[in-house]
Structure 1
């Protein structure tokens, strides 16, 4: 089990830190843990009664829960079920009393939508509060328009119009009113269209064409065509006219799109656009840099020439880094050394480039200088320190330093906050998403001492991910017990045994993927501790004869760990037992890693990792390697990470 982080404190203080305060500040002393546990069960019973429409049971339970931290959630749910018949006074009393509770904000949104459906515009005006939801903003503006207050309704509407996101249907009436009063000018229409295209949201940009002038509608149609086929920037006659602002903007955008999609194919197009003078040199420079970097990442034969063609005055850190990486990929150690020596002092002093300088010196026979650099790096607890320690055959430095404790008053004050009490109850009820909505606003602008206290409290609750997050926010890196906990120990060890994988590797992947938050959900739709895409999870489940129900099962640590470990095993087998390649594929996918294998010759594993084309995957593999070594130490083994020397060339 994860150790209690409040060890050494008196029992009375522990109770003070974890007991909830009453809803009414003037009420009696905080509830005991025993009473709190009983109320927690009553709260669940009340939720079930509410869901079943059992009003008699609700009337019995509700008064008993008035001093329970989550009472406002129960009350908000009760009111939310009866919005059609609820009185304004009743809703307003709740929204006023519990204004700082996220449940109140959700109820306000549902209430405003219900009022708008009933055309209760005066109530919408009275109960709206400014916030980030554009739908509610537009319902409020619509209410003002219905009460003949257009000046207030359309005040600062331009800011909403220029946001780089689709507008909900509720905004149609305000947009029409704004346009009829002359606020929506053709220039603003083009500005929104261009902003949405720049944000790569052509679906949201298309409806804006209605508000464009005829000439700009033609430009917009051409831009949308270029989105589908960037090669049109060299073919469409209207785009070949130097000096056209609209045309130059579309060509610039299209070239950037082309470079990102296929840098090798876009390179001659870049040269032709420069020859024709379609884009000013200052606009071409960032595209030229990006093209050179992507060609270098692809190890294109023309990459070094393009990097060098920029010259010292036009290059940036990424250009200098990729010149060195090209040297690594080609085994050209003199080029690596020259590239690092050409870097500004701050860049060359980064751990990675110090390590590669040592490797380059070692390759040229300067072993004494190289060993001195390795020894300096080996004293640092990071990926490159681990590599350096292995180069000279010394154990890495994994010193555990417990977190300095903030003042007791800070701990007590944080634990006593109503929002923190609600967060704790929500977490204990298995609702970490709602818990975070209470927890994070309290800490967002807090000081370092409060963040440390938050890490300690979260660890005491076994809220591992939040302990890690707030420890990092405080800038404390040395408490390895807090930073690298070992929850779900039996699940990880069983999965390791079933798949014949090191448990430290599984822990490291989960730690990097989700920060050990079982409820984690990525923007791409990956779910749970080991961040599995639902389709991937179903394929893995099918391969082992496991029946996976709906996607919510992936938030169950036992299920997620089992399927994630099997998937990692499958990747390992696919890449001939090479854990470096399997780790990279876990992040970037099988196809990409297959494309990144060296052609014609094998590469040292550390070289291959640092020449991975995707910066995200480079960082991912490094972190998994580093975290695996730490977890080996935490689990009682020897910290060494992956023992992989070479990455073999792909078959011709």
Structure 2
């Protein structure tokens, strides 16, 4: 009896202990996951004392990410301490730990320890993108490792760096195919195109020439081809690199037409026809007449003809036939804009409210533009109630940007603030999940390993970049995460023009990502010194340079706020070396002084100040008219320089969004 009772007691005890352990594990798993927003003190405690080894590793990587942000990239000794004993198991994070540990060892001067970790990484995780860095590092003494790298991870940044170092035929072809914009790629490709070196194979020559054209160097591309005929894709790339203005624009037009006539059924021919339809050269209409019949009967070509004819019936026919084509949307806007500029409010309302596009969901920025001007037309026609309802709907669904600002002003709800004492300052953006659809990428992003996430994405994506808006959103965020704001913002802008408005969660993420400032410390400091809102500096920097401190325009404008050297010298009181203008703090300080001068000159008028920053105060002086006070939105639309017209809308839309981030109503 006693034995039987003891057995039952032991069984119940084991069951209870097992249930307690299971319950404890479930409770541990239900805790919030650490991320870059977790306080450092909490991460320190997790890394040292948490009972879950996975959380200890995640906390260590987050602490390492904070170390990376320190001046000089942090202390490699401390990095090694954080990573010690964290490379256990088969989880992909172990590969990242080994890579980071190998890099830290190399920084400490421990080459043997670094190589040992690289070899361990290759042995345990041969398919991990982190192993690309191992092949690169070990390839210094073992060249065959570099060959493996190019084959197994062709689009990985380590492979592109190896191709630049290798040069020659293989390096040039690899870069032209997988990473033409990688630093140093152009020089390698040009060297291979040298007459003494260039290949006789037409496919290889086209690949090299196409790469040079994609970099904007049509002259080098044509020299590389020499007598080799261009393929359709090479011809398209060369034509695009020539641009649209002046004599080069006419050369581009001739190449586009030749492409369409020579390969009329190719995808490149369709793109060429679209390009020609958007051209405004004196011979562009005649070029459209020379297109093959199938290309003439396309939305871009027919939309251009309808716009030239100016006949509403022809325009309606195009819009009804090609409802979902962006050419129809642009046709609607251009005809409406003509009506607006002539203050034909009834005609504008008819065009913007036309049933020809019923059922079409425009991308957010285009729908905001349509809704604003339709409401203003209704207001001018005396239907104030409907106009207010339209502006309120615009604010609910597209609250940011230029048209969100103007709708808020029209409703008397809010306005931009140019008073430095009351305008909000800039704050670093909070962390948000990546939501890429790939668990491995999302976890790397959550653990602050943005460079690892970007390199893994680059390896998975390959070349060229995808036009899919969801992937553009992910890549744009990853690029911004590693400091490539130039391409990151470009891809986010492309996503905004392609993402359907029904994709609400992605739209919320997109809006947040577009409205994240960079260089907040530098801009705040410069703004305080010039007595300006820091949000104004951020708004200008986003449009001028996409927050890229080293970018230089073809005419010499340099840095965050794209200052011309002459203007900068005048503001500084002495000539400045080039490196001074690429310094974010120096550039922001000088740009802030210039904006302060313009704001004072125009007595606080943001439209005149912004237009002057782009076109010059002298030009803007000649544009002032009563329309500026009566209907300022129409004054902006009448600016004769298309670049300045867009610039004013972008900068002031940025300012509105930076001052009070607003997210659309999610349905």
Q: TM-score range by the shorter chain?
A: 0.5 to 0.7
Contact 1:575–1:582 (8 Å) recurs in 2 = yes
- Please say if 1:329 is aligned against 2:341: yes
Asked if 1:209 is matched to 2:225, the reply is: yes
Pick the aligned partner of 1:131 from 139, 151, 154.
154
Deviations 1:35-57 (A, max 9, x none): 9999999998977xxxxxxxxxx
Task: Give the CA deviation at 1:352.
Answer: 2.5
Partner of 2:188: 168
Q: Is the 8 A contact 2:310 2:335 kept in 1?
A: yes
Cα gap change, 1:131/1:78 in structure 2, threshold over 3 Å: closer, same or farther? farther
* Corresponding residue number in structure 1 for 2:452: 438
CA change 1:378–1:273 in 2 (3 A) is closer
Displacement of 1:388 in angstroms is 2.9
In the other structure, the counterpart of 1:427 is none
SS in 2 for 1:317: helix
- 2: distance between equivalents of 1:481 and 1:87? 37
Shift of 1:97: 7.3
Sort the Cα spacing of 1:575 and 1:484 in 2 relative to 1 into closer, same or farther, 3 A: same
**Residues 528 and 555, structure 1, Cα contact 8 Å, conserved in 2:** no
Please name the residue that 1:370 is paired with: 387
Q: How far is 1:565 from its partner?
A: 1.2
- Distance, in Å, in 2 between the alignment partners of 1:63 and 1:476 is 38
User: How far apart in 2 are the matches of 1:257 and 1:29?
Assistant: 50
Q: CA deviation at 1:364?
A: 1.8
The residue aligned with 1:388 is 407
Conservation of the 8 A alpha-carbon contact between 1:65 and 1:71: no
Q: Could you tell me which residue of structure 1 aligns to residue 284 of structure 2?
A: 270
Residues in 1 aligned to 2:188 and 2:650: alpha-carbon distance in whole angstroms: 41
* 1:559 match: 586
Distance 1:487 1:87 in 2: 34
Cα deviation, 1:328-354, whole Å, max 9, x if unaligned, reads 222221221121122513368923322
Q: Distance in 2 between matches of 1:7 and 1:122?
A: 39
Contact 1:135 1:170 in 2 (8 A): no
The aligned counterpart of 2:560 is: 531
Taking only aligned residues, the RMSD between alpha carbons, in angstroms, comes to 7.2
Q: Distance in 2 between matches of 1:284 and 1:482?
A: 37
Query: What is the CA-CA distance between 1:19 and the residue it aligns to?
Result: 7.6
Instruction: Provide the residue aligned with 1:72 in structure 2.
Output: 102
Instruction: Give the corresponding residue for 2:295.
Output: 282
Which position in structure 2 is the counterpart of 1:354? 371
Contact 1:374 1:388 in 2 (8 A): yes
CA drift of 1:551 comes to 3.0
> Of 487, 498, 506, which aligns to 2:537?
506
What is the CA distance between 1:500 and its match in structure 2? 4.5
Shift of 1:126: 5.4
Q: CA deviation at 1:606?
A: 1.4
Q: Which residue of 2 aligns with 1:580?
A: 607
Report the equivalent of 2:615: 590
Q: Secondary structure at the match of 2:593?
A: helix
Of the candidates 324, 344, 351, which is equivalent to residue 357 of structure 2? 344
CA distance in 1, matches of 2:554, 2:133: 24
Deviation at 1:317, TM superposition (A): 0.8
Q: Which deviates the most, 573-582 or 338-347? A: 573-582
Q: Distance in 1 between matches of 2:441 and 2:37?
A: 17
Q: Does the CA contact (< 8 Å) of 2:549 and 2:582 recur in 1? A: no
> Is 1:540 the equivalent of 2:565?
no
> Does 281-290 or 601-610 show the bigger shift?
281-290
Counterpart secondary structure, 2:564: helix
SS of structure 2 residue aligned to 1:563: helix
Q: Give, in whole Å, the separation in 2 of the partners of 1:26 and 1:374.
A: 48
Q: Which residue of 2 aligns with 1:54?
A: none
2:4 match: none
Q: Secondary structure at the match of 1:501?
A: coil
Distance 1:325 1:209, change over 3 A: same
- Tell me, what secondary structure is at the counterpart of 1:316? helix
Give the number of aligned pairs: 533
Cα distance change of structure 1 residues 288 and 74 upon mapping to structure 2, 3 Å threshold: same
**What does 1:76-475 align with in structure 2 at a 5 Å threshold?**
76-77=106-107, 92=119, 105=132, 108-109=135-136, 112=139, 122=144, 124-125=146-147, 129-132=152-155, 133=159, 136=162, 160=177, 168=188, 184=201, 201-210=217-226, 212=228, 263=280, 266-267=281-282, 269-273=283-287, 277=290, 279-280=292-293, 282=295, 285=298, 288=301, 304=310, 311-312=317-318, 313=321, 316-342=328-354, 343-345=356-358, 346=360, 350-379=367-396, 381-382=399-400, 383-395=402-414, 423=448, 436-438=450-452, 440=454, 475=507
Partner of 2:29: none
Distance, in Å, in 1 between the alignment partners of 2:212 and 2:512 is 44
Give the secondary-structure state (helix, strand or coil) at the position aligned to 2:561. Answer: coil
Does the aligned pair in 2 maintain the 1:584–1:617 contact within 8 Å? yes
- 1:305 deviation in Å? 6.0
Unaligned runs of 5+ in 2: 1-33, 87-96, 418-428, 434-438, 461-469, 493-503, 663-667
Measured after TM superposition, the shift of residue 91 of structure 1 is 6.3
Structure 1 position 384, deviation (Å): 3.4
Cα deviation code 1:136-193 (max 9, x no counterpart) = 46999989x9xxxxxxx99x999949989969359959x999978xxx4x57866876
Where does 1:487-498 land on structure 2 (aligned, <5 Å)?
Answer: 495-496=526-527, 498=529
Q: CA deviation at 1:320?
A: 0.8
Give me the whole-angstrom Cα distance separating, in 2, the residues matched to 1:11 and 1:251.
Answer: 56
Q: 1:548 to 1:384 in 2, by over 3 A?
A: same
**Contact 2:444 2:453 (C-alpha < 8 Å) held by counterparts:** no
